[in-house]
Structure 1
Amino acid sequence: MELETFAAQLSFPLDPFQKEACRALEAGHGVLVCAPTGAGKTVIGEFAVHLALTSGRKCFYTTPIKALSNQKYADLVDRYGKSSVGLLTGDLSINPEAPVVVMTTEVLRNMLYADSPVLRGLSHVVMDEVHYLADRFRGAVWEEVILHLPEEVRLVSLSATVSNAEEFGAWMETVRGDTEIIVDEVRPVPLWQHIMVGRRLFDLFDHDAQVADSNAKLIVDRELVRHLKQRQALDRADSWQPRGRGRGDRGGSSSNFRPLARPEVIARLDEEGLLPAITFIFSRAGCDAAVAQCLRSRLRLTTEEQVEAITAIIDKHTGELPRADLEVLGYWEWREALERGIAAHHAGMLPAFRHTVEELFVNGLVRAVFATETLALGINMPARTVVLERLVKYNGETHAELTPGEYTQLTGRAGRRGIDVEGHAVVLWQPGIETTEVAGLASTRTFPLRSSFRPAYNMSINLIDRMGAAESRSLLERSFAQFQADRSVVGIVRTIERNRVVLAELSDQLGGADGEFFEYAQLRERVRARERQLEKQGRTDRRQDAVSSLTALRRGDVIAIPVGRRSGLAVVLETDSDPNDPRPLVLTEDKWAGRISAADFPAPAKSLGSMRLPRHVDHRTARSRRDLASALRSTGIVPPGRYSKRKSPAASDRELATLRRALRSHPCHTAPDREQLSRIGERYNSLARETETLRQKVAATTNSLARTFDRIVALLAEREYIEEEGHGITENGQRLSRIYSESDLLVAECLRGGLWKGLGPAELAGVVSTMVYESRQDGDTGDRGPTGPSRHALTRTLQVWSELRADEVRHKLPLTREPDFGFVSAIYKWARGEPLVDALLAAGDRGQALSAGDFVRWCRQVIDLLDQVQSTAPDREVRAAATKAVHAIRRGVVAIDAA
């Protein structure tokens, strides 16, 4: 058996779940393996590599991010040698014809669409971190690969523990054939949960009670509960003390609580033997501030011998950095922190810095890392202890409490297999944290996998090119997204059936469908429905009036905001002509500046007068707001005391008047039991409306992806990317099929229309950056281009986007995001060879320079898209400019550590 041969080469015995999965693979099955972080799932992927090599076939090993691909490539080279292993990440192409190739999942997706000859002889594909298919932005790639891989290829899917593994496995069985589902929830290194209150470290759970009764529910440690009650009692006593004489050092209330300083937390963990530790802080600035705080203290976690080893690794990764850039990169502070065993780790860091931290941490030379949650999703960097400062994080829209799945993912980094006997998770207590809340997070293992698969332009054009429109629709109907959608309607269909039974009973009580009172009940329902329709129409008309009035406003107009906490006079600083949702920028007499919308105006906005404004108004500064508000108040304009209410459409509606007359003249209107039967009729009508809504929901859910696909096909056919009736794609469609960008169709339209002709390399880089860059702050998205040609190209690009958006609205499709101008000047300066500090400042947001890590990341995304422009642009001049732009950008910090 090959499993015995493989196992004999390992330095450790295989766990039961590893053996089960490997046996299934050797028997020719596909496998889905769900196990906790650090459980050793990748061993199963390595066995797939072994099977492919021993049978003279190929194995592809895919990962979600380049850093993991690089790490896995190094592991497999150590085992099988450089000649047997290749690497493809977009940035790098090493030995792509090798029998074992490590790659990002996007690379494999692109290969499948291009029907690459490298696919020949492929027997196994390992999809590491397959739960990434839930990722909002990139998740569709995993499903595309699963659906497109040839049937004979065995798929090895490795996932974090998810609560719906059986559902995911059932779908895999449907689309891939025989698939074994192996779920293991046992952590290889036990995890102990703690709460740190001040300098005291408590167990979260009462383990003595658990030992006494193994079936007992987990209960919070009694000593922890008692200690917190004592603190709260002291805090209540403090609240009666005169100001300045309370026991503020104890903490515990929002007024006098002071968290333990970060250097003290690390020192306390060191005393307990709990280092190395990763402290998760949900902001980049917070991570950097934590390191700075430690540097200001006396904290040092390294010996002189370790400092020598640290400096050697630092020099290895950063020796090629331009000396002129070291100051702007914060190199010397970063280096001092590393030499003291302390580091930050987040996406805003220069890749060379981040990789240095990773190597030092894995080698035990850095012992305290302050990291954002991205570390938990990416690189293999376990610690003895994980510390959580807060149980709330910003999710991109609002501050939200951590979910049990997120808590499990973060604390999953605690406990190094083969090094630690146990791992530790420490939550730092602060007011508002309830021990029962932490206990709930720590004891719940819910992490459901939800598909994020949706048809997009590039995906659709590639599907049609490979298999035609009809077969493409069929493939979309086999996606995990549709599988989950169809399962979700099972309960709804049961509810519809139950409602039908109740409706029949209620109908009988009304004398049957042909009875007079049933007719009367239906007439009453028609009256109510018409009233609801007119009320809705009135709201729509009022909103449209408000929209029209807002789009008509001019800069300097003085208006009155009639309702809400911003009510009063305001002056228009920026207009907005969006026909659907205009949001002009205004400043109120109370010094508030912000955007208003139609929701603020139950009556149309009217200009009450106007005032002269400076050419440039910086509404973000308090002084500017104060001066303008003073000028506004001094205009003498008085807001109207009240606004006139719009007359209700119901008052003059003929149809409603006719229905009301019919109701009053109906024989049942004067019946003695009218009210009793009317209540039954209302129940019938209410249930009938609910049932119809459920039917519509089922109809919308069933085949929903295929309907979206049909709309995309209709738009692409209109714009001549698809031949008539979806039988093939045009030359324009061929170009679109090779553009992998969130703004793929917009890029294709700009190339097709020759909008970017005549631009120099730096100008083209600036224009292309608008397709990928996303400003971290809403509001001003940068200037309109540093040169005349680039400004012209950007203006035309915006026009094309506006036309495309109108088509997408008409076809009821998701809207292509607006080009973002925030990186134009920065990439232009960099591509022209200007210093790094100038480029970072040019990309700054509200006076803050862009971080070096973000700058490099955006530069590489621009390079990726420029590469696609170089291979797809119909114009030779544009292709040449794209090639030169790539070379111009790939220098200095962007070129270093490009892997």
Structure 2
Amino acid sequence: MLSSLDYLSAKEKSEVHMFIDKAVSRLKKEDRDLPQILMVRDLLSRGIGIHHGGLLPIMKEVIEILFSKSLVKVLFATETFAMGLNLPTRTVVFANTGKHDGRSFRQLLPGEYTQMAGRAGRRGLDPTGTVIIMCNDPEAPPMAGLRAMMLGTPTKLQSQFRLTYNMILNLLRIEALKVEDMIKRSFSENSSQVLLPEHEKNVKASEASLQNLKRDPCPICDIDIDQVHDEIVKYSDLSSEILNLVIQSPIGRRAIVSGRLIVFYDEFKKRRCLGILNRILARDRKFLVLLVAKMGNSRAESEALTKVPYLTMVSGFASRNLKQFTLLTRFHEVAIDISAVELIASMSVRVNFSDAVRSKREEIARITEQLETCLKFQSNWHPLTFSKLKDAQLTVLLTEREEALKIITASKSIKCKNFMKTYSQVHEEYMIKQKIASLKQLISDQNLELLPDYEQRIQVLKDLNYIDEDLNVLLKGRVACEISSGFELIVTELVLNNFLGEYEPEEIVALLSAFVFEGNTKIDVETVTPRLDQGRARILDIVTSTNKVFEAHQVLMTQDEAEFTERMRFGLMEVVYEWARGMSFNSITQLTDVQEGTIVRVITRMDEICREVMAAARIIGDSTLYDKMLLAQEKIKRDIVFCASLYI
């Protein structure tokens, strides 16, 4: 179909041919006739271009420059063209609204669509830009999907900062800069670091409030009020843990039947409420309850009562310190979080919830009658014990809660008439201290998101003898500092075990290609040479043993690290080996299904790895390895792979 299309005039054809001839003149004669170059040249002579990651770098640059000169009228491109180059056009056509992101096929994100569609319309040349979406299926794409792609919320910026062993080791050698300081400067920590001055200001204000607090003396409460307060907090925390554990189990949820009376705080924790359980919303960790009563006549009184624990199981406590619930004139349903629950009573009432929500008079009267009877015994309500549930963890929690209740009941202050006042003062002091501790935690290095990952990686480095217990960088660590292209620990093991020294320069670069090539091939390399096969097996053994150390310390591995042994990362081993031995580029492309552009990128990066291994060899004083890597570097740096850029 494309062979019959021609968009260029005779003058434009001449310009294109002259430019391509000048561009490829820097190549060897045999490289000028590569199939890809001939194919692209034919298309460009008719004003048609292609642009994707598999193209040779020089042909990519030819297409980009000709496109910028308006000598390419139609360009078939992947998103790499739109993402990386500022070259607008009159019309953008989407062949599909989906893409494969390396893991699965998905719809284009709003940011991706906008970036590519935004190329339509050349400033100063076109009054408007046109965007066309092709429909390859009989039916058009669903409008909801198109609307989300075009008008959806842009993808939130996420920090790509990741700790590497090379970075950690280099920072450990610099006294003036700590790893924690580097983490603080990352985008991922930006939002929390911006708030630091505000947190420090709040700490000072809270500390001033704490100093101004005064506790009224009471001869009875002063005996053990601090201990009682701690036990009440413990009792409340244990009750929450018990409830969390119970609702995770189907058997536990069946124990909390509909109709149970539930005492809870409102959403602002300003008032204590009474409700009747309708059902458990286990997925949302909420209870759906019928709100029937509230405690306290005024807002101030209600708020004051919430500061006193609901300990009706302590004899005489409720009558001395708590108010009676006041029934509401109209009942309604609310969903409450389980963290707001103070007590699930062992008492229950019978309710027709659909009639109650509709405020049917007969049902409201029946519920009110039952509640009035229950409220007469409010001071003796006991919590649901869950003692019949057979669970070891639950049994431990119930026992600890019972012990806390015994200490509270036996205390002197719990029976004092001033308990409510003194407890409120102690609790206010406790809350301010908790706030100060929370703010200081936010300010400290311990709050850094990547700190756990850093600590785990430090343990790995200690286990593998890259650093000592005092975080001093050892010889292995100094070698790893020179390897910055990835897989630094594995390459370091290869260098220090004299593994690379046993091979010839051509074989070394062939084996090291596994740390550059991502394994995007369908052809599995079998036997290249027996020596290379042995080297591949040895590398896989080192990778496996190193990954086991990572797993032992629960280090978050990258996808490349985790799938190294599963991917065909040695897929270009034969290609790189033959290239280093002097084979032509056209010949090595016949050895693999990998595209030419990818081959060039892998060999180019091999030059970088050669320099890094040379630096490592210099540190350990291995002149033989240094000379081999220097020779390997010379062997791969030739012809079309290292052709100078047209932009220079």
Is the shorter-chain TM-score for this pair beyond 0.5, marking a shared fold?
yes
1:836-886: per-residue Cα shift (whole Å, max 9, x none)?
2331232x2xxxx32211111111111111121122223222221111112
Tell me which of 133, 158, 182 is aligned to 1:475.
182
Q: Is 1:725 aligned with 2:561?
A: no
Instruction: Tell whether 2:542 aligns with 1:706.
Output: no
Name the residue aligned to 1:791: 533
Aligned in 2, Cα 1:485/1:803: closer, same or farther, shift over 3 Å? farther
Asked if the contact 2:120–2:131 (Cα under 8 Å) also holds between the matched residues in 1, the reply is yes
The 1:793–1:516 alpha-carbon spacing in structure 2 relative to 1, beyond 3 Å, is farther
Question: What's the counterpart of residue 255 of structure 2?
Answer: none
Q: 2:496 aligns with which of 752, 756, 759?
A: 752
Pairing of 1:180-579 with structure 2 (within 5 A): 293-295=1-3, 298-430=4-136, 431-435=139-143, 437-444=145-152, 446-467=154-175, 471-483=178-190, 503=339, 505-507=341-343, 509=345, 518=383, 520-521=385-386, 524=389, 526=391
**Secondary structure, aligned partner of 1:524:** coil
Aligned residue type for 1:472: V
Q: AA paired with 2:479?
A: R
Question: For residues 192-244 of structure 1, what are the alpha-carbon distances to aligned partners after superposition, in whole Å with 9 as ceiling and x for unaligned?
Answer: xxxxxxxxxxxxxxxxxxxxxxxxxxxxxxxxxxxxxxxxxxxxxxxxxxxxx
CA distance in 1, matches of 2:34, 2:64: 22
Counterpart CA distance in 1 for 2:524 and 2:174 is 39
Q: Distance in 1 between the 2:32 and 2:586 partners?
A: 10
**What is the DSSP-based 3-state SS (H/G/I as helix, E as strand, rest coil) of the residue aligned with 2:76?**
strand
Rg larger in structure: 2
Query: Distance in 2 between the 1:823 and 1:466 partners?
Result: 38
Choose which of 624, 629, 633 in structure 2 pairs with 1:882: 629
The verdict on how the C-alpha distance between 1:521 and 1:311 changes in structure 2, with shifts beyond 3 A counting, is: same
1:852 is the counterpart of 2:596 = yes
Partner-residue secondary structure (3-state), 2:576: helix
**AA matched with 2:604:** R
Q: State the one-letter code of the partner of 1:825.
A: E
Compare relative contact order (CA 8 Å, sep 6+) and give the higher one, 1 or 2.
2
Residue pair 1:477, 1:705 contacting (<8 A) in 2 also: no
Could you tell me the percent identity over the aligned residues? 24
Report the Cα distance in structure 2 between the residues aligned to 1:529 and 1:482, rounded to whole angstroms.
Answer: 38
Shift of 1:317: 1.4
SS of corresponding position for 1:725: coil
Q: Tell me the alpha carbon deviations over residues 768-820 of structure 1, each in whole angstroms, 9 at most, x when there is no partner.
A: 10111112147x64235x33433333222222111101100101113335262
CA–CA separation in structure 1 for the residues paired with 2:381 and 2:611: 74
Structure 1 Cα separation of the partners of residues 550 and 393 of structure 2 = 35
The residue aligned with 2:608 is 864
- Tell me which of 831, 834, 838 is aligned to 2:580: 831
Question: Considering only aligned residues, what root-mean-square deviation do their CA atoms show, in Å?
Answer: 3.5
Q: 1:496 to 1:505 in 2, by over 3 A?
A: closer
Aligned length: 426
Structure 2 portions without partners, runs of 5+: 200-265, 270-285, 287-335, 348-376, 400-437
Aligned to 1:689: none
**How far apart in 2 are the matches of 1:731 and 1:496?**
59
DSSP-derived class of the 2:470 partner:
helix
3-state SS of paired residue (1:729): coil
Cα pair distance change 1:509/1:715, threshold 3 Å:
same
**Cα distance change of structure 1 residues 724 and 515 upon mapping to structure 2, 3 Å threshold:** farther
1:445 Cα offset (Å) = 5.3
Structure 1 residue ranges without an equivalent (≥5): 1-292, 531-654, 660-694
Aligned-partner Cα distance in 2 for 1:760–1:397: 37
Q: What are the Cα deviations for residues 707-749 of structure 1, in whole angstroms up to 9, with x where unaligned?
A: 11011111112222223322x3223222212211221211112
Tell me by how many angstroms 1:478 deviates. 4.7
Could you tell me which amino acid in structure 2 is paired with residue 743 of structure 1?
F
Give the TM-score normalised by the residue count of structure 1: 0.44
Give CA deviations for 1:642-664 in whole Å, capped at 9, x if unaligned.
xxxxxxxxxxxxx9xxx9xxxxx
Structure 2 counterpart of 1:832, one-letter code:
R
Whether the aligned pair in 1 keeps the contact of 2:345 and 2:384 (CA below 8 Å) is: no
Distance 2:39 2:524 in 1: 31
- Helix, strand or coil for the counterpart of 1:393? strand
Aligned partners of 2:165, 2:628: CA distance in 1, in Å?
A: 26
CA distance in 1, matches of 2:93, 2:340: 60
1:380-431 per-residue CA deviation (whole Å, 9 max, x = no partner) reads 2221111111101111111101111111011122222233332221112342
Distance (whole Å) between structure 1 residues aligned to residue 543 and residue 594 of structure 2: 27
- Secondary structure of the residue aligned to 1:426 is strand
Amino acid at match of 1:705: L
Give the alignment of 1:23-62 within 5 angstroms. Answer: none
Contact 1:329/1:852 (8 A) holds in 2: no
Distance in 1, matches of 2:78 and 2:338, equals 54
Matched residue of 1:507: which SS? strand
Equivalent residue runs for 1:653-668 within 5 Å: none
1:735-750 alignment runs, 5 A limit: 735-750=479-494
Contact 1:373 1:410 in 2 (8 A): yes
User: How far, CA to CA, are the matches of 2:27 and 2:448 in structure 1?
Assistant: 54
Q: Is the 8 A contact 2:482 2:613 kept in 1?
A: no
- Please state if 1:782 is matched with 2:516: no
Report deviation, 1:370.
Answer: 0.2
Query: CA separation of 1:375/1:865 partners in 2, compared to 1, >3 Å: closer, same or farther?
Result: same
Structure 1 contact 325–837 (Cα < 8 Å) conserved: yes
Instruction: Write the mapping of 1:667-686 to structure 2, written as runs, cut at 5 A.
Output: none
> Contact 1:722/1:729 (CA < 8 Å) preserved in 2?
yes
The question of 1:894 aligning with 2:641 is answered yes
**Helix, strand or coil for the counterpart of 2:391?**
helix
Equivalent-residue separation in structure 2 for 1:720 and 1:351 (angstroms): 41
Q: Note the alpha carbon deviations across 1:99-150, whole angstroms, 9 max, x for none.
A: xxxxxxxxxxxxxxxxxxxxxxxxxxxxxxxxxxxxxxxxxxxxxxxxxxxx
Question: Which amino acid in the other structure matches residue 882 of structure 1?
Answer: M
SS at match of 2:501: coil
Q: Cα 1:445–1:316, aligned 2, differ >3 Å: closer, same or farther?
A: farther
Report the CA distance shift for 1:800/1:485 in structure 2 as closer, same or farther (over 3 A). farther
Distance 1:866 1:393 in 2: 36
Checking the alignment, whether the CA contact within 8 Å between 1:783 and 1:825 is kept in structure 2 is no
Q: Structure 1 pair 501/447, CA: closer, same or farther in 2 (3 Å)?
A: closer
Counterpart AA for 1:836: F
Mapped to 1, the partners of 2:85 and 2:341 lie a distance apart of: 61
> 2:544 corresponds to which letter in structure 1?
S
C-alpha spacing 1:850/1:730, structure 2 compared with 1 (3 Å): same
Q: Which secondary structure state, in structure 2, belongs to the residue aligned with residue 369 of structure 1?
A: strand
